[in-house]
Structure 1
Amino acid sequence: MLKTQAQIISGYSQKINEVTTKIETTKKLIDQLSLVRIGLFLAEILFFVLLLNSADDNSRTLIQFALLLPVIGFVFVVRKQARLDREIDYQKQLLWVYQNEWNQLNGKPNGYEDGKVFESESHPFSSDLDIFGRASLFSLVNRCYTKTGKDLLAERLSHKSTKAEILARQEAIKEVQEKIEETFDFRANLHGHNIEKIEQIKTQLAGDLGLQLAFVRKKLLRVYVAVAPYITFGLVLSSIFIGGLSGNILGLFVFIHLGINIFLNSKINLVFYSFGGGSGLLNSYAEAIKWTENQPWKSSYILQLFTSKIPISKEIKTLSKVIQKFDARLNLIVGGFLNGLFLWDLQCCISLDKWYQSSSKDVISALNHLGDFEEIISLATLAYNQPAWVFPSIDEGFQLSGTEIGHPLIAVERRVNNDFYLEAKPTVDIVTGSNMAGKSTFLRTLGINMVLAYAGGPVCARSLQLSVFSINTYMRIKDSLNESTSTFKAELNRLKMILKNIEQDKNTFVLIDEMLRGTNSKDKYLGSKVFVEKLIAEKTPGLFATHDLQLADLKEDHPTALRNFHFDIQIINGEMEFDYKLKQGPCSTFNAAILLKQIGLSLD
């Protein structure tokens, strides 16, 4: 049984409370462990004082052993605190995810990016239909944090798909919708990390890393680096128990090791600075990938995302461990100690090279496919959050028919839905009506739902059946001072683009709002008339919103190829009332005279 939106909002509230409580509990435990650390430190001081004041050899031996206990306990507590710190960081990201969903369903902005970087005035429809930018379809849908995910979602919302692709994506989105509770953990693992860092790592894996690691592939160097820790360990033991020359030899080895490290430092730095500090990020990404690997997926669209037979999450965790060890060089004292004794940086470079030779290609693919899952999850989350919306039926041939179609960016309490259908063959539909009556909103309502449908997502309607069209729009035409382009020239450029697209793709659907605003009324009518007749001749369906009633009269010349619709107003006690409902036939009631009168101008 589907949840109502009120139940969904309540569910998010409950999750927010649960995660908040868990964060508070974890913080208290971390504070308690901090007190334990202080206690262990004080215990160590106490044992040390007892050691200094003890004259009995047996007591001194016992105290020496006791000195180890606070140290061991301290190490254990520090590691436990580190795990809790990582857990609390994850819980904070999960809290953000739940809070963001609650915010959106309560009319607040989406915390994910709004896609402004994808805005383009030259695109066939994205600017006119509010696909990208503030208060856009992208800002409503987006749940992508990675660059790949955002790019993929933008691609789906701005380019045409085939019927087979749309149906395959619908199947995948519905499958993910059934697992929606688990996707919040997936999103929490990806959110909050340095996006540029993961892109840097992917670029490095796909690019120069192989060449940068070539210096550690020399056999003699590998052999020495492999045996150096054993030699050092033997010299340390010899220095402790034998002394004498052993200590001098150990010092010489440390000096030689530091010299080797300094000599190769520039090459080591090239490798390190692409990965350094990325251990936590990769661990989180590995957890996200692990979730995708552990699901019993059925949809073909998702199954084709898995190109490796081995669990890539394990390979990424291995890489993370190498990088975590490599990060020791960030502490000059610890790094100098480890390099002097064990050639630590070279050990890490060799481990990284072994990993690179066996796993890098599969890891790059898996990291990129996280974006595919984010993009699918974005639309699945929309379907979950809007239980009244439906997945459209994608048909062959020529079809567009919908009931109670509403604009997805208008709040449900203000949204007015309309029914609409095309005839069995293409027509040009003239939509007339008063200012503010709803003509432009209706065109955008139809267009934006078509975009959602072609992305494989749910639509804001009770039902929608449609075939695959290439959408072309003409609505917000702007002049350009930078390009010395007037409004009229910009309009001509837009018309030229639409005509070219119609020639290239016969399955084009055109949405036009008040054509040729930048010229005189006579030329405007004649230009609009010629364009309407061009659409009719090309058998291209279109909706043509206009104030020009003469265009509605074209039905006399094209009785089967042109239809008239309108939005009207009611004048009650001198006040205008709009119902925003689409009606048959041309409009007979306009509001210009009333609006002019309100500002002190009267028409005779």
Structure 2
Amino acid sequence: MQQQQQEIIAGYQDKINEVTSDIDQTKKLIDQLSFLRIGLFLGEILFFVLLLRSADDSLRILIQICLLLPVIAFAVVVRRQSRLDREIDYKKQLLWVYQNEWNILYGKANGYDDGKAFESEQHPYTSDLDIFGAASLFVLTNRCSTQNGNRLLAKSFAEKSTRERILHRQEAIKELTDKIAETYSFRANLHGYDPEKIEQIKIQLKSQLGEQLSFVKGSFMRFYVKLVPYVSISLVLAALLVSSVFWKILILLVLIHIGWNILLGAKINKVFYSFGGSSNLLNGYASAILWTENQNWKSSYTLSLLDSKIPVSKEIKGLTKIIENFDARLNIIVGGILNALLLWDLKCCINLDNWYKSSSKHVIVALDHLGDFEELISLATTAYNQPHWVFPVITDQFELSTTQIGHPLIREQVRINNDFRVEAKPTVDIITGSNMAGKSTFLRTLGINMVLAYAGAPVCAGTMQLSVFSINTYMRIKDSLNESTSTFKAELNRLKMILDNVVKDKDTFVLIDEMLRGTNSRDKYLGSKVFIQKLIAEKTPALFATHDLLLADLIADYPETVRNFHFDIQITNGEMRFDYLLKHGPCKTFNAAILLQEIGLKLED
């Protein structure tokens, strides 16, 4: 297993080296083009000086022609350099993606969001099972740059699914795992942008842009804006070739255009500042969508995400082109001339309105679906990085059976795996054992792998077969000063939530770690006993970890519905050793006396 993962790490290192080399080469080429631009600028000055000093008419004509060459070459170089700048930006993001995978496999921080915003103490299990926040399942798996992708991944971990949906998602994730080498470019195209900006654009497209562009819907304006380039060019040519009076007409027309732009300035600005400066972002998103369109998908789940009949990437490129043209107004001189002669801002608004009518609905859907692909790729990347994990078998009959199951957040070098299976009918399994022996970790191991299984992802186990349960947990119970809630009251609230869910959903599976810690030992035992009896009456499967050995005696009254397991310790010469292996029967050895003795307290026999 470790050899497989070392090969994967080495593969990422090779990619890191390759992209780093590409970036260095591209930077050198950009530097060379920068020197070329300086040379062309100096050449233009030289030709201009020669023009001023030349008295020969034929030579002057030749020099005038030569004056155009550096300008044309300069424009070509600037265009080429701009493309290289975009290319290097993309490669830097691709390098970040590879480096991030390398970091995760070496136990370093994941650069994507940790899902802290999705934490909730009221959720049936996410807080207890470390699903969100620092050192969580979300941190281990998340590869989403968009807000929608993060929301969808959180939803997959936090909401109950169906067997059919889980199987379809497994199919999609397996397909993406086979294409994993191609997913890195998709992720690079989405990373590095402000996710809030694309959300603003989506809101703009959904509910605001149509109304904001209402001022360009008039037929006269549209006709005139289409005609005005021909009018302006004709007046310039007429002024040069016919009579200088046409300059006066052109100046009058320019003044009218400037006044018109000032009059509509507030409305134009409102449209522009919703999109201005977002052309690079949209180019990246268009490239990501193009990737999804160009793949030969087989899984029905993935195909359902591509419901547009037109190539949406092309539609976004069209929007990007309009925005790039619109950005010309940011240059006061260029924008001023274009608006004075061509009503440039109004032309861009009309083009944007035409685009909005024909393409906005498809683009909104496609932008949303990028999150679906990100979420699936997150789980597929986890599957690729953990080749020894397995996809569980989802059954339609009551079942939970697993071999060599381990906690996915514990490093493989120190992880201890266990086998476990439920009976053919629900039982309450009471797990006893010493402090630090592994009871809590085992409950979390089982729960977090069930969450992975229901998301359609592989699990950290040798094999796993399970039906679809609603997971409910009782582990980390906290008091709340803000809500004036004691620990005991918080425990009662949690128990009530579980009991309500057990009654509502007969497929509930309960994981409880040391119930009623906020009360005395007698009430704790009686409360735990009656709660177990309630679970038995409701035929709810449960794992119940406790230090209270008396609860293990319930097997005498309920031999068919109660089972005993334990984690023990071995004591050699006063030293404790844990093997963290689940064993049958109640625990016989506890470590409290030894731990107390270490701090100077000795228990009397």
Global fold match (TM > 0.5): yes
Q: Structure 1, residues 172-222: CA drift from partner, whole Å, max 9, x if none?
A: 000011100000000000000121111111001100111111110100111
CA distance in 2, matches of 1:65, 1:552: 99
Q: Structure 1, residues 196-252: CA drift from partner, whole Å, max 9, x if none?
A: 111111001100111111110100111111101110111112222334211111111
Query: What corresponds to 1:293 in structure 2?
Result: 293
CA distance in 2, matches of 1:132, 1:88: 34
Query: What corresponds to 1:40 in structure 2?
Result: 40
Query: What corresponds to 2:92 in structure 1?
Result: 92
Cα contact 1:2–1:387 (8 A) shared by 2 = no
CA distance in 1, matches of 2:391, 2:312: 33
Is residue 405 of structure 2 the alignment partner of residue 405 of structure 1? yes
Query: What corresponds to 1:214 in structure 2?
Result: 214
Matches within 5 A, 1:273-292: 273-292=273-292
CA distance in 1, matches of 2:279, 2:484: 52
Is residue 320 of structure 2 the alignment partner of residue 325 of structure 1? no
- 1:156 Cα deviation from its structure 2 partner: 0.3
Q: Structure 1, residues 92-130: CA drift from partner, whole Å, max 9, x if none?
A: 000000000000000101100000000000000000000
Query: What corresponds to 1:49 in structure 2?
Result: 49
Query: What corresponds to 2:203 in structure 1?
Result: 203
Cα contact 1:103–1:109 (8 A) shared by 2 = yes
Query: What corresponds to 2:547 in structure 1?
Result: 547
CA distance in 2, matches of 1:481, 1:511: 26
SS of 1:207's equivalent in the other structure is helix
Is residue 308 of structure 2 the alignment partner of residue 308 of structure 1? yes
Matches within 5 A, 1:33-432: 33-432=33-432
Is residue 590 of structure 2 the alignment partner of residue 590 of structure 1? yes
- 1:530 Cα deviation from its structure 2 partner: 0.2
CA distance in 1, matches of 2:397, 2:493: 30
Q: Structure 1, residues 52-95: CA drift from partner, whole Å, max 9, x if none?
A: 11111111110010011111110000000000000000000000
CA distance in 1, matches of 2:409, 2:597: 33
One-letter amino acid matched to 2:250? L
Q: Which moved more, 1:372-381 or 1:242-251?
A: 242-251
SS of 1:296's equivalent in the other structure is coil
Cα contact 1:16–1:99 (8 A) shared by 2 = yes
Cα contact 1:19–1:94 (8 A) shared by 2 = yes
CA distance in 1, matches of 2:14, 2:401: 39
Sequence identity percentage: 71
Q: Structure 1, residues 16-53: CA drift from partner, whole Å, max 9, x if none?
A: 00000000000000000001001101111111111111
Query: What corresponds to 2:452 in structure 1?
Result: 452
Q: Structure 1, residues 412-463: CA drift from partner, whole Å, max 9, x if none?
A: 0110000000000000000000000000000000000000000000000000
Aligned length: 604
TM-score by length of 1: 0.99
Cα contact 1:144–1:378 (8 A) shared by 2 = yes
RMSD over equivalenced CA pairs, Å: 1.0
Q: Which moved more, 1:381-390 or 1:305-314?
A: 305-314
Matches within 5 A, 1:508-527: 508-527=508-527
SS of 2:94's equivalent in the other structure is helix
One-letter amino acid matched to 1:477? I
Specify whether residues 436 and 374 from structure 1 end up closer, same or farther in structure 2 by C-alpha distance, changes over 3 A only.
same
SS of 1:565's equivalent in the other structure is strand
Cα contact 1:3–1:387 (8 A) shared by 2 = no
CA distance in 2, matches of 1:279, 1:489: 54
Q: Structure 1, residues 467-518: CA drift from partner, whole Å, max 9, x if none?
A: 0000000000000000000000000000000000001000000000000000
Matches within 5 A, 1:458-473: 458-473=458-473
One-letter amino acid matched to 2:288? A
Q: Which moved more, 1:223-232 or 1:122-131?
A: 223-232
Q: Structure 1, residues 255-294: CA drift from partner, whole Å, max 9, x if none?
A: 1101100100111111111111111111110110011011
CA distance in 2, matches of 1:308, 1:454: 28
Cα contact 1:430–1:544 (8 A) shared by 2 = yes
- 1:3 Cα deviation from its structure 2 partner: 8.4
- 1:335 Cα deviation from its structure 2 partner: 1.2
Unaligned runs of 5+ in 1: none
One-letter amino acid matched to 1:115? G
TM-score by length of 2: 0.99
CA distance in 2, matches of 1:547, 1:332: 76
Cα contact 1:146–1:371 (8 A) shared by 2 = yes
Is residue 570 of structure 2 the alignment partner of residue 570 of structure 1? yes
CA distance in 2, matches of 1:598, 1:58: 105
SS of 2:544's equivalent in the other structure is strand
SS of 2:430's equivalent in the other structure is strand
SS of 2:274's equivalent in the other structure is coil
CA distance in 1, matches of 2:297, 2:517: 53
CA distance in 2, matches of 1:241, 1:431: 99
SS of 1:401's equivalent in the other structure is strand
CA distance in 2, matches of 1:300, 1:336: 52
4+ long deviations beyond 2 Å: 239-243
CA distance in 2, matches of 1:274, 1:45: 41
CA distance in 2, matches of 1:190, 1:325: 23
- 1:578 Cα deviation from its structure 2 partner: 0.5
CA distance in 1, matches of 2:543, 2:164: 27
Q: Which moved more, 1:313-322 or 1:2-11?
A: 2-11
Is residue 28 of structure 2 the alignment partner of residue 28 of structure 1? yes
SS of 2:85's equivalent in the other structure is helix
SS of 2:402's equivalent in the other structure is strand
One-letter amino acid matched to 1:375? E
CA distance in 1, matches of 2:54, 2:334: 33
Query: What corresponds to 2:497 in structure 1?
Result: 497
One-letter amino acid matched to 1:479? D
- 1:170 Cα deviation from its structure 2 partner: 0.1
SS of 2:589's equivalent in the other structure is coil
One-letter amino acid matched to 2:547? H
Query: What corresponds to 1:440 in structure 2?
Result: 440
- 1:333 Cα deviation from its structure 2 partner: 1.7
Unaligned runs of 5+ in 2: none
Query: What corresponds to 2:603 in structure 1?
Result: 603
Cα contact 1:150–1:371 (8 A) shared by 2 = yes
CA distance in 1, matches of 2:194, 2:128: 33
CA distance in 1, matches of 2:88, 2:271: 31
Q: Which moved more, 1:319-328 or 1:231-240?
A: 231-240
CA distance in 1, matches of 2:412, 2:238: 80
Cα contact 1:325–1:348 (8 A) shared by 2 = yes
Q: Which moved more, 1:269-278 or 1:19-28?
A: 269-278
